[in-house]
Each structure stands twice: as C-alpha cells, then as structure tokens.
A and B are shown apart, each in its own frame.
Chain A
Amino acid sequence: MEAAMKWDKQAISKLISLIEDGEELDYEPVRRSRVVGITGPPGAGKSTLIYAMMKMLPGNLKLAALTIDPTSPFSGGSFMGNRIRMQDLSDHPNIFIRSLATHGSRGGLSYEAISTVNLLEHVGADYIFLETVGAGQVDTDVRKIVDTVVVLLPPLAGDEIQALKMGLMEIGDIYVASKGDSPESDKVLLDIEAMLRMVAPRAWGPKSLKVSPLYGQGVPELIKAIEDHHNYLESNGLLTNILSNRLELMMRLHAQALLDELIEKSAELREARKGSLRPREAAARVMGLRGPRLDHVAVAARDAESLIGKLAALGIRKIGEEVVEEQGVKVVMLGLSNSRVEVLIPLSGDSTVARFLERREGIHHVAILVDNLDEFKKAASSVGLEFLPASSKGAEGSRVAFINPRGLGGVLLEVVEKKYEHKI
C-alpha cells in the first residue's frame, strides 16, 4: 500500500488483483478524486472519449481509467477491448488503465469495481474515469457511485423516442452527442436538448454538448462542464454522500451474491422448480422469513447483571430492554444473528419469574415465530397440547401464546405471530 500511495503502478495493480481475489484491503476510504462515469450504448465512443480527455488534461495530474467489459454467462471469460482506444497513453507515467470484467454482476457494476474506485481514490488519483459496460437502460447503478455521469449518445442509434425512454436518459449530469464529425450528431444534440426541456428542472440542470474526440472538438468544453459539476457538488456538500452510496451498494451487491449462493444450495429451490412450493413462498423460506423459526431464548439468572456482562464479552450485546408491567418483569434483549437472548429480571417477589428463580436458574422459555398463530394452535390441539391462559397481546400488534410445558418435554414454548414483519 505504501508504494501504491506513491503511484507505483505495479503496486496499485497488485492491490486491484487482491480485490478481485475477494480480499478486503485495510484502509479508510476518502474523497479526493473527481470520479466521472462514462456510460452509453456499445460503440458510442466511450473509450475514445476517455482517451481524448486524458490526453487533454494537464500531464502532471494522476489519471486513472477503469473500463468494464461484459463477461460471458456461458464460458465465464471476457474479451476486453476498451484499452485499444487508450493504448497510446498506457506508458504515460501518470496514467493508469485497468480493465475489469463484470463477472455476472447485475446493473453492470461489481463489488470489485466499486472497491477499485475506492482504492484508486485512496492512492491519490486526481481523476478516475469509470467506463461502464454500455448496457444502456439498466446501467443506472453508476449514478450512485460517481460524482458526474456523462451519457454518450452516438448518431443513428434511434429516433427521439429513444431519448424519451426512462433510465439512461435520467441518469446523466452531462449529455454528449458523440462522433461530432458526423452530420447526424447535430440531430442527436437537438433530440437531447428537446428531451432536457421536457423534464422537470433540477438543481443541476443537465448540460448537453457535442464532441468529436478524434479531432479534439468539444473535449475542453466537456472537461469544463465536469469541473463545474464537481464544484456544484462540492459547494453543496454532496461529495461524501457518494462515498456512503458506494459502501451501501457494495453491501447490497455482496448480500445478493450470498443470497444467490443460499438459493443455489437450498431445498426450496428444488421444491419451487417442481411446483410443490409457490415461488413467493420458496423465496421467503430461503431467507428464513417463513416457516416456524426461532424468535428468542429467554433465560433467568439470579445475578442477571453479571450474566449480561459476560455475554457481552462474548459478542452477544444488549440491543434493547423493555418493562412488561403485567408480568412484573424487565426484559433485557441481547442480539444473536437472526435471533436474540432475552434475560428476564423480576421486578417483584410475586412474579412468575421470581417464583421460577426460587426453584432454579436457566432457560425459562423458548419462543418461535410462526406464520399463522390460529393454524398453529389448531395443529397443536390436534396432537393434544394445551395452551396456558396467559396474556396474548405482544408488542406492535403481534400475538403470542404459551404451550403448557407438561406436554412438551418440560419446555415452556412461546409461539409468536408478528404482524407486518416482512411482506412476502
């Protein structure tokens, strides 16, 4: 990392490979670069435009280009040709270019790509150009993670109806008609301007212009527009928010990857494919949102404070507490992944928990969540289980019932139906 901070390209390159290998680098992400996303349909001229901008920017600035190419869903391989348009600059000491493959990520951006942007920013790039895969209308994630989105539209790519479609035409801060040496590009610029007049005015009115990167025309104006947009973001304090967006998107992308893995391995997937479980139900079950599942384990201890302290030292920390007057008990909740421990502390000597503690310490009851309490009760009665005449209203509209431990191996089982927990 030390060498990378001095813009040692070999070191930066190795760090990006570590990111691609799934390693987390140890540093605090910062904001110091102008991060520009270049998007538009394939063949719009994105790589060539990045080349033209990098060539025109002052040579003492550190410039990075990150170009993303699609991965084959069949072979898993990628043919990456974006560099071709920039190769002229590949041996410039201040310029770093890296090709990344999408590797199956949705929306065209991968966890690794965002992580690489953070790294390039950390090692001191003045500008980072992120060239997206050019998937067009779905390629909108880029908007959240870069400072300025440049949408590039080539001539003869469709009539003005294309410009009216949602998605790509909403994400741009700057709209650029590319291949400006073609007479058709004037028509593209007119379509863009007509479209921009139709949308509701925003704090930053999207700019539009025409470029011809091969002849250098329009490129200084584009760089100026990017500068202006960056100053607008900076003076409105919007730059740090973009870092938060990146971290959020990384979390979401990784969660999606984990979920895909979970689905792949699940029995629910096979059931859904057979048709024996409705797809909606199967999806909720795979995520642990449906079917009987552990809600919490309640324990009672004579020295509750000491128990809570020791569990906290083990990573099971307090997440809340609640006084339940009618039970004469204070409940301290400790978080487990997907569940919790509840420590019951009696408020008076005649509460049920106090009487429990006179006999012994330990697990007081186990609580499970069910989808439908009435159905559960019917099923429980049919196998001869009895319910205790305890109060049946829980927090936030949830309903609870207790099963008599005598019929259940001595375990006091609380059954909870939560309303509005998750919509499925």
Chain B
Amino acid sequence: MRRIKVIVAKLGLDGHDRGAKVIARALAEAGMDVVYTGMRQTPRQVVETAVQEDADVVGISILSGSHLELVKEFMDEMRRRGVDVPVMVGGIIPPEDEESLRQMGVAEVFGPGTPLSIIVDKVRSLAAVRRV
C-alpha cells in the first residue's frame, strides 16, 4: 500500500526554510513519503509537483508576509489545473489572515508554535479523506 505522500513547499522570495525542513522531517518520521521542493518556488511549480507526485496533501510554508497574494495565486492555479488536493499553510500568518486563507480554500492554517504532533495528525486525517 502506498504511503501518505506530502509535498512541503516554500513559495515566493523567502530564504528561511528551517521550519519547513523540521516539519518535513517530522512527517517522514511519522512514516510518510515527504517531497521537499526547496525554496523560492512559483505557485505553478508547486502545483505541477503535486500533479506529478500525486500528492495527498500539500503543505506550504511562507515566512515572508506575502502569504495572501501567493496562496491566492496558488489556489487559482490548482483550480485551473483541476488538482483537488488539500492544502495546508504554515508560517508567520497573522491570526486575522487565517479566515481569508480558508476562504480561498485552504484546509488548515498553522501559526508559529503549533506542536508537530497536531500537524502530523491533521495531515493523516486530510490524506485519509482524500484516499476514500
């Protein structure tokens, strides 16, 4: 049986990926196949990655403050390409932006300090729903 496959991606001009790597490692240690895209990805590159890897969940990390613009562009590209994969966003996300991100179709938003175990559990439940 195929393991849960997660894409961990960094969108836009943002050179800090320690957080994304920590989360990617935690998901791999929880028994998942984690594809890390590296930094400075365009929304299109990440959507194409989700297509080619047949990802169950895409996790996007943004610390640059441009999450509203980048995630909007990303979600539009997902729809344009017809990719139906749950998206999680993490990073420096002000609480007041959370609702806007959810409006765009983001399934989960994680701010700083979210315990890794919660992220692992959320990925598992989102993947389980998609695999049904």
Contacts and interface: CB of A to CB of B under 8 A. Distances in A.
Partners in one complex: yes
B31 A80 contact: no
A98 B37 contact: no
Given A13-B53, A101-B3, A91 B48 contact: yes
Interface string A69-98: 001100111111101110110110000111
B61 to A, nearest CB: 14
B34 A75 contact: no
B25 A79 contact: yes
Nearest to B24: A79
Interface stretch (A15-23, A162-170, A252-260): A15-23
Given A21-B1, A91-B48, A75 B28 contact: yes
- Number of contact residues on B: which range applies? 20 to 34
Contact of A90 (B32, B34, B36, B48): B48
B52 A96 contact: yes
Interface stretch (B38-46, B88-96, B108-116): B38-46
Which of A17, A75, A87, A98 has the largest number of chain B CB atoms within 10 A?
A87
Contacts of B53: 13, 98-99
Contact of A80 (B1, B30, B33): B33
Contacts of B41: 87
Contact of A77 (B3, B47, B52): B3
A14 B24 CA distance: 23
Contact of B29 (A14, A77, A87): A77
A85 B39 CA distance: 11
A83 B37 contact: yes
A87 B44 CA distance: 11
A9 interface: yes
A10 interface: yes
A77 B1 contact: no
Given A16-B54, A72-B29, A83-B49, A77 B34 contact: yes
B101 interface: no
Contacts of A22: 1
Contacts of B27: 77
A8 to B, nearest CB: 10
Contacts of B48: 9, 90-91
Contacts of A77: 3, 27-34
A184 to B, nearest CB: 26
A120 B110 CA distance: 37
Given A17-B54, A22-B1, A78 B44 contact: no
A75 B37 contact: no
Interface residues of A, number: 32
Which of A16, A78, A96 has the largest number of chain B CB atoms within 10 A?
A78
B51 interface: yes
A99 B44 CA distance: 18
A72 B45 contact: no
A268 B3 CA distance: 31
A16 B51 CA distance: 11
Given A84-B36, A101-B3, A79 B52 contact: no
B45 A91 contact: yes
B80 interface: no
Contacts of A21: 1-2
B28 A99 contact: no
Nearest to B83: A10
B35 interface: yes
Contacts of A84: 36-38
Nearest to A21: B2
Which of A13, A16, A99 has the largest number of chain B CB atoms within 10 A?
A99
A74 to B, nearest CB: 8
Given A16-B54, A90-B48, A97-B52, A10 B35 contact: no
Interface in A117-162: none
A65 to B, nearest CB: 10
A13 B48 CA distance: 11
B24 to A, nearest CB: 6
A81 B38 CA distance: 8
A10 B51 contact: yes
B51 A79 contact: no
A99 B7 CA distance: 11
Contact of B51 (A13, A20, A75): A13
A78 B33 contact: yes
A221 to B, nearest CB: 28
Contact of A78 (B34, B47, B82, B83): B34
A394 B32 CA distance: 56
Contacts of B54: 13-14, 16-17
**4 nearest A-B residue pairs (beta carbon):** A84-B38, A77-B28, A20-B2, A79-B28
Interface of B: 1-3, 24-25, 27-38, 41-42, 44-45, 47-49, 51-54, 82-83
Interface of A: 9-10, 12-14, 16-17, 20-22, 71-72, 75-81, 83-85, 87-88, 90-91, 96-99, 101, 103
6 contacts: A14-B54, A79-B24, A81-B36, A85-B38, A87-B49, A97-B49
